[in-house]
Structure 1
Amino acid sequence: MTDRLPPWARLVRPATWPLRLRVATAFLLAAALALTLLGVFVQVRVAEALEHRTHDLLEAEAAGLVAAPETERAARVESMTGDVYAQLLDEDGRPVASSPLVAGPLVSTADLAGLPPRGSWSAERVVSVLDDDAAATGDRHVEHEAVTLLVTHADLQLVAVATSREDTDEALNAVRVQLVTGLPLALVVAGALGYLAAGAGLRPIERVRERAERISDRSSGERLPVPPARDELHRLVVTLNAMLDRLDDGLRRQRRFVAEASHELRTPLALLRTEVDLALARERTPEELSAALRSIGQETTRLTVLAESLLTLAAADEGNLALTRAPVDLRDFALEVAARFSTSAPAPIGTTGDTAVVVHADRNRLDQALSNLVDNALRHGAPPVGIDVLLDGDHARLTVADHGAGFTVQEPFDRFVSSHRSAGLGLAIVREIVAAHGGTTRIVRRNGTTSVVVELPTTAGRGPGGGELRP
């Protein structure tokens, strides 16, 4: 959906930007916010500092005038020709004495009405003053100037001192200009550094991506480079490498399974081909053709069983060995399987154990597992063969025993493991079916008896093999 957007639409959607650009943009926005706040803070602090300095200057001048004797106060006011000028007012607000630069009243009638009875009062005003050069030449050139004004009481008089705000405003304007000029430059530097830092931070991810791009089924042993820093990327790469290990194990099992299945299928297919070739080599009698068809039928049955076994194991490997759950009485179930095999067995198959041992399981899958165990015992063990059912706490124990010599391999439940006791997939299928039911399988050799013990939970659940028990 994103790839179909026009270029201008992708530009206004940050979610479509490259990760490096998004990181740099976020860094730039954060820097812009921080620098803006810093600029405002600096501007406010400089303004406060200048105001404090101005007020301190005015308070010092006002204090000097208030402390002066009343006879000298007017003379001192009239001699103030510097940056600070003053005006002396009587109690009715009429000017008594003014500095040479003052061209009009510093305090208006409205200001006099709002003066507090005690203490001092400060404000910013625009007053009329003489130009410095005009005052020196005697010219009465009047101009309006913004000043900071301080009014305080002195006996029965008012002392008003003022100073021009020109220097303060120029200083504030200079700071403001420097901030406004320097902010874009600082943002450019911050954006460039953010872009470079984002690139440096994403470089390990790019190395991981390049290595991942080279990994295939032909180079499954390769792993992603693990960064030295113990950060989120380190944990991600470790997790991905663990996933690759699992996939590699699954791929090796799949390849081994295909190779071994191909080997198992090769023999019955070769026999089928041989039987057909022999039957067609020359004219055959009806009896010979019947014998050839019976042999072909046996090999076909073997191929069918092998194909069904392969499908069962493939479903178990994918976790899709679905089990239709229902109550199964293992005692009655064992009697049925024993009766079915006893018709062709050299000796009857006995059953022993507790009655009413009920498990919630798939009857067809259990029949497949128990039939494989009994068939393995009849074909590769020694009579008598027996089935025992026992309730052990919250587990049901199903045992198939014979008096054979035992297994000649350490892992008889592995697939395609062959010995004089087992061959092919029978016991491997038993293990997968039992595991899907949440049970376990083990082999016990005791007193000349070889037993395969299957333990199943008597409560419904989901087995570690991944089989889902459905009611």
Structure 2
Amino acid sequence: MAASLLLAGIVVVLLLGWSLDKATTENARSAGRQVIKEIAKEGARDLTASDVASTGDSASVIQILGPAGGPIASDPAIAGRPPLTTARPAPGHETVETIAMPVNGTDDDYRLVSTGVAGPGGPYTVISARSLAPVSEASERLTLLLALAAIPLLAIAALAVYRAVGSALLPVERMRRTVAEISTRDLGHRVGLPPGHDELHNLATTLNSMLDRLASAQGAQRRFVADASHELRSPLNTITTALEVSEHHPGAMSTAELLGVVSRETARLRELVDDLLLLARTDDTSDNPPHAEVDLDDLARSEAERARATQLQVEIDTWPAKVSGNPAQLRRAIRNLVDNAREHAKERVLVRTGTAGGIAFVEVADDGPGVPAADRERIFERFVRRDDARHHGPGTGGSAGLGLAIVAGIAARHGGTAECAGAGDPGYPGAHFRIRLPLKDTT
């Protein structure tokens, strides 16, 4: 507002100065007009100083120059002075200029209007001068008045804006206090919604949505920690029990049996830890593994050939599908799907790749029991296991319910999705898993 007032004040002062300056020039021209008429009619033979003297207006003086260029009549205030200007306009023309000259004890700027006159006896020059001091004084006074008026106006405006903005932002302060009182132990409190449907209401709604997401994430994290602790405790308990039995009952378990139990549970424990680390990496947005051009069809074919080592019939239907991503992570995702299908299939597994609408996909289907519609979304959550999956051993991630969660995490990390659909191919009535990834940009 101060800048606006300053700009407005400058504009007003400049406009006033321009208007007064123009009026001064017009007044000087008007003052000499009567003298010009008389000289044009009768010449300057009978012209005296009283004819050009100002009538009480000391700010205006007139001087008449004869054909020879010297003064022949002057206002008493400038009597005896040489010509006020060297300008000699032709008859019917005028010259406007500004000079400084002492008049009546002052040394002010004067606006001179010099007009050429063709009269009896030769050409004459009528010089009409008017002081510019009133213009300067008016501009200075206006500047001072504007400055004096702007100071209280700014103070009043500042107070009004401060009170208005403070009142408008009071709901924001209430939100801040409410959010500051919410601790990580209790995310149940919510911000009160201000009345109306303005930006502050939208802000409060957004904060509450964020708190809902934080509470949901905190609950999921707590469940994840609890489930991970339970899963980690299981192999540790098995190893501890085996060692205690071997210690207190030496003949109950041979060394080979003990080593077998310890090795099996250690492998299970190591796989679980590796899965947890991989899930943490897929959640960490600051972790940027190297990306390269990946042929999904090659990865899928390789994993399908690996599954053919079992007694299952593995059908491979792969078409070229290039994406940009981390080869090791994408291989892990496909391997988890193939291993999941291998564990659930009765006789047959289908592995397919292709492209459609700028999307590359990998599909793995089996002829097993399938996944109920109610479980097709939650099956990608961590530590989610169906009852018929409890017997799975290490190697697939299925024992801890992390295999499909890893698939979903890797797909999301690469800008894609993982989904479970119903049976879609004849001969494969079981589960039908699909990974969708954006095709590599070849432009």
> What is residue 432 of structure 1 aligned with on the other side?
409
TM-score (norm 1): 0.63
After superposition, residues 227-242 of structure 1 pair within 5 angstroms as none
> What is residue 16 of structure 2 aligned with on the other side?
42
Q: Structure 2 residue aligned with 1:62, among 35, 40, 45?
A: 35
Q: Structure 2 residue aligned with 1:175, among 133, 138, 143?
A: 138
Instruction: Tell me how far 1:353 sits from its aligned partner.
Output: 3.5
Partner deviation per Cα, 1:220-262 (whole Å, 9 max, x = no partner): 565698998978x999999888777766654444333223323
Measured on the aligned residues, the alpha-carbon RMSD in Å equals 5.2
Unpaired segments ≥5 residues, structure 2: 391-400
Check 1:286–1:366 CA distance in 2 against 1; reply closer, same or farther (3 A cut).
farther
TM-score (norm 2): 0.66
> What is residue 134 of structure 1 aligned with on the other side?
none
Instruction: Tell me how far 1:109 sits from its aligned partner.
Output: 9.8
Which amino acid counterpart does residue 389 of structure 1 have in structure 2? V
> What is residue 333 of structure 1 aligned with on the other side?
303
Q: Tell me the SS of whatever aligns to 1:42.
A: helix
Q: Distance in 1 between matches of 2:413 and 2:441?
A: 10
Instruction: Tell me how far 1:460 sits from its aligned partner.
Output: 5.0
Q: Distance in 1 between matches of 2:130 and 2:292?
A: 97
Which amino acid counterpart does residue 104 of structure 1 have in structure 2? A
Query: Quick check: 1:309–1:429 contact (8 Å CA) kept in 2?
Result: yes
Q: Distance in 1 between matches of 2:407 and 2:375?
A: 17
After superposition, residues 345-384 of structure 1 pair within 5 angstroms as 348-354=311-317, 365=329, 368-369=332-333, 372-373=336-337, 376=340, 381=344, 383-384=346-347
Which amino acid counterpart does residue 431 of structure 1 have in structure 2? A
Instruction: Tell me how far 1:302 sits from its aligned partner.
Output: 2.8
Check 1:255–1:240 CA distance in 2 against 1; reply closer, same or farther (3 A cut).
same
> What is residue 270 of structure 2 aligned with on the other side?
304
Q: Distance in 2 between matches of 1:456 and 1:90?
A: 103
Q: Give yes or no for the alignment of 1:255 onto 2:222.
A: yes
Query: Quick check: 1:406–1:421 contact (8 Å CA) kept in 2?
Result: no
Check 1:253–1:373 CA distance in 2 against 1; reply closer, same or farther (3 A cut).
same
Q: Distance in 2 between matches of 1:304 and 1:53?
A: 104
Q: Tell me the SS of whatever aligns to 1:399.
A: strand
Query: Quick check: 1:389–1:399 contact (8 Å CA) kept in 2?
Result: yes
Instruction: Tell me how far 1:81 sits from its aligned partner.
Output: 6.6
Q: Give yes or no for the alignment of 1:51 onto 2:25.
A: yes
Check 1:57–1:389 CA distance in 2 against 1; reply closer, same or farther (3 A cut).
same
Check 1:244–1:73 CA distance in 2 against 1; reply closer, same or farther (3 A cut).
farther
> What is residue 452 of structure 1 aligned with on the other side?
432
Q: Distance in 1 between matches of 2:279 and 2:44?
A: 119
Check 1:393–1:30 CA distance in 2 against 1; reply closer, same or farther (3 A cut).
closer
Check 1:36–1:71 CA distance in 2 against 1; reply closer, same or farther (3 A cut).
closer
Instruction: Tell me how far 1:82 sits from its aligned partner.
Output: 1.9
Q: Distance in 1 between matches of 2:441 and 2:48?
A: 108
Query: Quick check: 1:404–1:448 contact (8 Å CA) kept in 2?
Result: no
Unpaired segments ≥5 residues, structure 1: 1-26, 132-142, 343-347, 463-471
Query: Quick check: 1:329–1:358 contact (8 Å CA) kept in 2?
Result: no
After superposition, residues 196-211 of structure 1 pair within 5 angstroms as 199=162, 204=169, 207=173
Query: Quick check: 1:105–1:127 contact (8 Å CA) kept in 2?
Result: no
> What is residue 14 of structure 1 aligned with on the other side?
none
Identity %: 23
Which amino acid counterpart does residue 314 of structure 1 have in structure 2? A
Q: Give yes or no for the alignment of 1:265 onto 2:232.
A: yes
